[in-house]
Amino acid sequence: MKRGIAVLVSLSALVVVAYFTASNLAIRHETIAFHDPERDNRLVAVDIAVRWDKEMQADAGLIKLPVAVLNHGNTVKHTEYSFLANVFAARGYLSISPQHDLPTDPPMVTKPGELYVGRLPQIQRGVANIKFAVEEMRKIQPHADYDKLTMVGHSMGGDISMYFAKQYPEEIKKVVTLDNLRVPFLTEGKFKILSFRSKDNVFKPDPGVVPDAEECEKAGITVVDTGYQHNDMRDTGPDAAKTSIQSMLDKFLVDTDSDVAPVDTRNAPPKILDPGPVSLYVPVPKAPKASFAATN
């Protein structure tokens, strides 16, 4: 029986990989260098991922692209999360990934006992980068919804995402974090939150960052215990980790998006929405069938 389950899990993983591989063929990637005149002409490079067909429809004014902002971890490049960018792009999003730190930036000095362990200046810099990148993207692709963002981030990028959502909750549609460790979750329930957590003896969240199960259920927060390491959650991580995260993320988008769909490729196998080896820690309660309120 155990062998049969193992074979089934392996086949499911193969189908997910094949699906996203086929989808990637329909996705365009581009890196654009912006310079912020308000901050000494600071370079803010942005990696873009978008479906060719959806971009053409947006250019023609037929649709408005939902927008996901992907935020990288400390010292990690903004291009190292393509496995996430491709999930959003495949589902019809305009994915934008800004580079938050530069080689010329002073080193981060952590200070235990201070707010966010002394990382507030770097977090605020990331928020400024997002604000600037979004305004620049409005000029390049005006047919996108920059007023309601899906904020995504790993580690420090997750803290930037949560802090941005705290500062500008009216501009947030949903939040996805991968092992953010410093900035506490928002529990007001204004938008859905999905968070992937690692099983890592080195990288552990500060007390009070991740709410307990009861708070999560009330606030519409889904916490996924992956069992993987903190640094597995980027392109350099093992395929099993990336495939599991992709699968659960796609399921989350299925549940929270009503007007966007994954890429339609003739040779793409059907999607597998089961999270695979990751286990759901706190489920998000489903809305009553009689409700017609818009999903946040």
CB atoms inside a 10 Å sphere around CB 112: 7
CA distances from 196 to 27, 45, 135, 237, 291 (A): 25, 26, 29, 14, 28
Cα distance between residue 154 and residue 164, in whole Å: 14
Mode of pairing for the β-strands spanning 65-71 and 94-98: parallel
Q: What is the per-residue pLDDT for 257?
A: 86
Question: In tens digits, what is the pLDDT along the chain, a chain of 296 residues?
Answer: 434 444 444 444 444 444 455 456 699 999 999 999 999 999 999 999 999 999 999 999 999 999 999 999 999 999 999 999 999 999 999 999 999 999 999 999 888 889 999 999 999 999 999 999 999 999 999 999 999 999 999 999 999 999 999 999 999 999 999 999 999 999 999 999 999 999 999 999 999 999 999 999 999 999 999 999 999 999 999 999 999 999 999 999 999 986 554 444 333 333 333 333 343 334 444 444 333 333 33
CA distances from 139 to 39, 52, 134, 166, 282 (A): 19, 19, 9, 26, 40
In the 8-state DSSP scheme, what is residue 83? H
3-state secondary structure 22-69: HHHCCEEEEEEEEEEHHHCCEEEEEEEEEEHHHHHHHHCCCCCEEEEE
Q: What is the per-residue pLDDT for 83?
A: 97
CA distances from 34 to 11, 98, 99, 126, 132 (A): 43, 10, 10, 14, 9
Cα distance between residue 262 and residue 92, in whole Å: 6
Q: What is the per-residue pLDDT for 88?
A: 98
Cβ proximity of 43 and 35 under 8 Å: yes
Cβ proximity of 70 and 77 under 8 Å: no
Q: What is the per-residue pLDDT for 277?
A: 39
Which residue reads 């992709």 in tokens?
246
The angle formed by the CA atoms of residues 40, 45 and 47, to the nearest 5 degrees, is 160
State the sign of the Cα–Cα–Cα–Cα dihedral 31, 32, 36, 37. positive
CA distances from 229 to 178, 199, 201, 233, 251 (A): 11, 6, 9, 8, 22
Task: Of 217, 274, 266, 207, give the one whose Cα is nearest residue 16.
Answer: 274
CB atoms inside a 10 Å sphere around CB 104: 7
Q: What is the per-residue pLDDT for 7?
A: 41
Amino acid type, 88: F
Amino acid type, 160: I
Query: What residues have CB less than 8 Å from 105, skipping those under 6 apart?
Result: none
